[in-house]
C-alpha cells in the first residue's frame, strides 16, 4: 500500500547567511511520509522536540534539480556513490538535512530514513522508517518545492542561479533530450556532464534499440558494456525474428487475447487479471503448473513445439539480471532465448515472455529481474499462471508461514521459492515469519 507524501514549508524572515539565495529562502520545513514526520527532531538546546526544522531551502532545491534524472530513473544495484545522488543528507554539508533516501522502483518511489545526530546544531533526527509513495506524487511534491524556491528568489530580485538555469533546462528538454537524460542517468552518468565519447555511445544505442525496451535495457547494462550489450541484444533479435516456425495454437491464442482488456492493478499492472483470464479460457484446473511439459499441455502444444521455440544463449549473456529475450518470428510465432536453463527458472522466464507475446503489441522484449513498471506485469502474470493465489489460499491454512514451509511448497510443486513467497505476500495469504 502506498503512503501519503508531503513537503510543507513556510517562509521565515531572511537569515544572516552570507549568500542571499540561502538567506531569503530560510523556511520552516517538514517532511511527512504516511503521517510520520521524517523531520522530527530533539532540540537539545531548546530542550524540546518538534516535527519541523529551520533551514535554507535553496541548497535542497538545487540538489534535487542537480540530481533530478537520477532520483527518478537510477535504480540501486549496489553503486557505492548511489546515496550522493539519492539522499538529501548530501544536499549540503553543515546544514541540518535528514538522512532520507529516494530510490525509484517502477511506478513508485521507495523512501527510507534513519536516525541522525547533528552535534553542530545540537539536535537529532530521532526516527527511522521506510515507505513507498507513487512516482507521480514524488514528482509533484518535489516540483512544487523547486518552483516555490525559484519564485521566492525572483521576488527578491535574484536571477540566473545554478538552480534556476538547471530547472529551465529540465523543463525545456525535448522528447529526444529527455530520452537521453533518462538513459544516461540509468547508467549513473550526469546527462549534463558527459564526455563526447560516452554521449555518442548512448545515442548510438538509443537509435538501435526498439523503443519499448530502452528503459529496461539501460537499467541492466553498464557504462563499460553498453555497446557490447546493445549489439548482442540486436543480434539475438535478428536471429529470433528471422526464424520460420508456425506454432498455430499460440498464434490463434494471441489473436483471441489481443481483443481482451484487463484490469490493471496499481502495483502489478495487468498481470494477475490476464493470468486468471487465460487459465479460465484454457480450462486449466486450479493446481500449479510444475514443469515445461505441463505448461505445453495447458497451451495445447506438443513437447516438440514448445522446445523448438526455446533457444540457448549461444552468442553470450547480457547484463545483470537479464532472464530472457522474446521476439515474434516471420510466421508470427514467439521465440525465446532463456539465459538460465535451470528448469524452474526456465519455466518462469518462459511464462513471463508468454505474457509479453500474448498481451502486448511490440514484437520484441527483454525480460529482467529489475523492478521497472514494464517488468512487474510479466512477473505477476507468471506467478499467478504457475501458482494461482486461489490454490495457495486453500493449501495454506495458517496465518503465519516460515521460509522453510515455503521451501517445502516450492519443492513439492517444482516452482521457484521466491515466486511462491511473493505470491503469499502480495495476496496477503499468510504472514512470513522466521522459524518453523
> What's the confidence (pLDDT) of residue 166?
96
User: CA-CA distance, 17 to 13, in Å (whole number)?
Assistant: 12
The closest alpha carbon to 123, from 12, 36, 48, 27, belongs to 48
| Phi-psi domain of 302 (left: phi exceeds 0; alpha: psi -120 through 50; beta: other) | beta
Q: How confident is the model at residue 344 (pLDDT cuts 50, 70, 90)?
A: confident
Helical axes 373-386 vs 271-282, angle rounded to 10°:
30
Identify the weakest region by mean pLDDT among 42-51, 88-97, 300-309: 88-97
The Cβ of residue 22 has, within 10 Å, a number of other Cβ atoms equal to: 18
Top-confidence range, 3-12, 115-124, 222-231: 3-12
Tens-place pLDDT, residues 361-380: 889 999 999 888 889 899 99
> What's the confidence (pLDDT) of residue 213?
94
> What's the confidence (pLDDT) of residue 265?
65
Residue 211 has which C-alpha cell?
523503443
State the average pLDDT over residues 201-226.
Answer: 93
H/E segment holding residue 230: helix 226-241
Q: What is the DSSP string of 275-340?
A: HHHHHHHHT--SS---SHHHHHHHTT--HHHHHHTEE--TT---STTEEEEEEE-TTS-EEEEES-
Instruction: Tell me: pLDDT of 316 over 90.
Output: no
Residues 6+ apart with CB under 8 A from 53: 28, 29, 30, 39, 41, 96, 98
Instruction: Tell me: pLDDT of 435 over 60.
Output: no
β-bridge partners, 401: 432
The Cβ of residue 294 has, within 10 Å, a number of other Cβ atoms equal to: 16
Residues 6+ apart with CB under 8 A from 374: 212, 215, 216
Identify the weakest region by mean pLDDT among 126-130, 301-305, 340-344: 340-344
400 in Cβ contact with 394 (< 8 Å) = no
Tens-place pLDDT, residues 59-117: 999 999 999 999 999 999 888 899 999 999 999 878 999 999 999 998 899 999 999 99
Q: How confident is the model at residue 140 (pLDDT cuts 50, 70, 90)?
A: very high
CA separation (Å) from 357 to 288, 318, 394? 21, 21, 31
Instruction: Tell me: pLDDT of 152 over 70.
Output: yes
Instruction: Tell me: pLDDT of 121 over 70.
Output: yes
Tens-place pLDDT, residues 236-260: 999 999 999 999 999 999 999 976 7
State the average pLDDT over residues 395-400.
Answer: 91
246 in Cβ contact with 238 (< 8 Å) = no
Residue 163 has which C-alpha cell?
538552480
User: CA-CA distance, 206 to 217, in Å (whole number)?
Assistant: 10
Cα angle, residue 199 at apex, residues 194 and 205 outer, rounded to 5°: 140
Residue with cell 538522512: 99
> What's the confidence (pLDDT) of residue 436?
43
Residue 146 has which C-alpha cell?
523547486
User: CA-CA distance, 134 to 111, in Å (whole number)?
Assistant: 11
User: CA-CA distance, 267 to 245, in Å (whole number)?
Assistant: 36
> What's the confidence (pLDDT) of residue 259?
67
Instruction: Tell me: pLDDT of 385 over 80.
Output: yes
Residue with cell 521466491: 418
* pLDDT above 90 as % of the chain: 82
Instruction: Tell me: pLDDT of 184 over 50.
Output: yes
The Cβ of residue 396 has, within 10 Å, a number of other Cβ atoms equal to: 17
43 in Cβ contact with 50 (< 8 Å) = yes
Mapped onto helix, strand or coil, the DSSP state of residue 51 is coil
Instruction: Tell me: pLDDT of 262 over 80.
Output: no
199 in Cβ contact with 97 (< 8 Å) = no
What mean pLDDT, rounded, does the chain reach? 92
> What's the confidence (pLDDT) of residue 284?
95
* pLDDT above 70 as % of the chain: 97
State the average pLDDT over residues 323-347.
Answer: 90
Mapped onto helix, strand or coil, the DSSP state of residue 420 is helix
The domain ranges of the chain are 5-169, 178-208, 239-386, 390-433
> What's the confidence (pLDDT) of residue 267?
57
Amino acid at each position: 500500500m502506498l503512503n501519503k507524501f508531503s513537503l510543507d514549508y513556510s517562509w521565515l524572515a531572511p537569515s544572516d547567511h552570507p549568500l542571499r539565495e540561502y538567506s531569503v529562502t530560510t523556511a520552516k520545513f517538514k517532511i511527512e511520509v504516511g503521517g510520520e514526520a521524517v523531520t522530527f527532531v530533539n532540540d537539545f538546546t531548546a530542550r524540546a522536540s518538534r516535527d519541523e526544522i529551520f533551514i535554507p531551502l535553496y541548497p535542497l532545491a538545487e540538489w534535487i534539480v542537480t540530481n533530478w534524472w537520477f532520483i527518478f530513473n537510477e535504480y540501486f544495484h549496489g553503486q557505492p556513490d548511489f546515496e550522493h545522488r539519492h539522499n538529501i543528507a548530501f544536499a549540503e554539508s553543515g546544514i541540518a538535512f535528514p538522512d532520507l533516501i529516494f530510490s525509484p522502483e517502477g511506478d513508485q518511489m521507495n523512501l527510507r530514513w534513519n536516525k541522525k545526530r547533528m552535534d553542530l546544531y545540537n539536535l537529532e533526527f530521532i526516527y527511522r522508517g521506510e515507505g513507498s509513495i507513487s512516482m507521480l506524487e514524488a514528482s509533484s511534491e518535489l516540483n512544487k518545492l523547486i518552483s516555490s524556491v525559484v519564485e521566492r528568489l525572483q521576488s527578491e530580485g535574484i536571477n540566473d542561479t545554478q538552480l534556476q538555469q538547471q530547472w529551465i533546462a529540465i523543463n525545456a528538454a525535448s522528447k529526444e533530450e529527455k530520452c537521453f537524460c533518462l538513459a544516461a542517468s540509468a547508467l549513473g552518468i550526469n546527462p549534463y556532464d558527459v564526455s563526447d565519447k560516452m554521449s555518442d555511445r548512448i545515442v548510438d544505442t538509443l537509435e538501435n534499440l526498439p523503443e519499448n525496451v530502452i528503459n529496461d535495457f539501460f537499467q541492466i547494462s553498464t557504462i563499460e558494456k553498453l555497446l557490447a550489450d546493445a549489439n548482442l541484444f540486436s543480434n539475438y533479435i535478428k536471429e529470433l525474428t528471422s526464424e520460420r516456425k508456425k506454432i498455430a495454437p499460440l498464434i490463434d491464442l494471441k489473436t483471441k487475447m489481443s481483443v481482451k482488456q484487463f484490469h490493471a492493478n496499481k502495483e502489478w499492472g495487468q498481470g494477475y487479471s490476464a493470468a486468471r483470464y487465460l487459465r479460465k479460457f484454457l480450462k486449466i484446473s486450479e493446481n500449479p503448473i510444475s514443469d515445461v511439459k505441463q505448461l505445453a499441455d495447458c497451451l495445447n502444444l506438443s513437447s516438440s513445439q514448445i522446445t523448438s521455440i526455446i533457444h540457448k544463449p549461444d552468442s553470450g549473456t547480457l547484463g545483470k539480471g537479464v532472464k530472457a529475450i522474446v521476439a515474434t518470428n516471420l510466421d508470427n510465432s514467439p521465440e525465446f532465448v532463456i539465459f538460465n536453463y535451470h528448469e524452474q527458472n526456465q519455466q518462469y522466464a518462459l511464462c513471463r515472455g508468454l505474457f509479453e507475446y500474448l498481451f502486448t503489441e511490440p514484437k520484441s522484449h527483454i525480460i529482467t529481474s529489475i523492478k521497472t513498471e514494464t517488468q512487474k506485469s510479466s512477473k505477476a502474470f507468471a506467478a499467478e499462471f504457475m501458482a494461482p493465489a486461489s490454490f495457495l489460499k486453500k493449501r495454506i491454512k495458517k496465518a503465519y508461514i516460515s521460509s522453510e514451509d515455503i521451501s517445502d511448497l516450492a519443492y513439492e510443486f517444482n516452482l521457484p521459492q521466491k515466486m511462491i513467497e511473493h505470491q503469499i505476500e502480495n495476496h496477503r495469504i499468510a504472514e512470513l515469519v522466521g522459524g518453523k
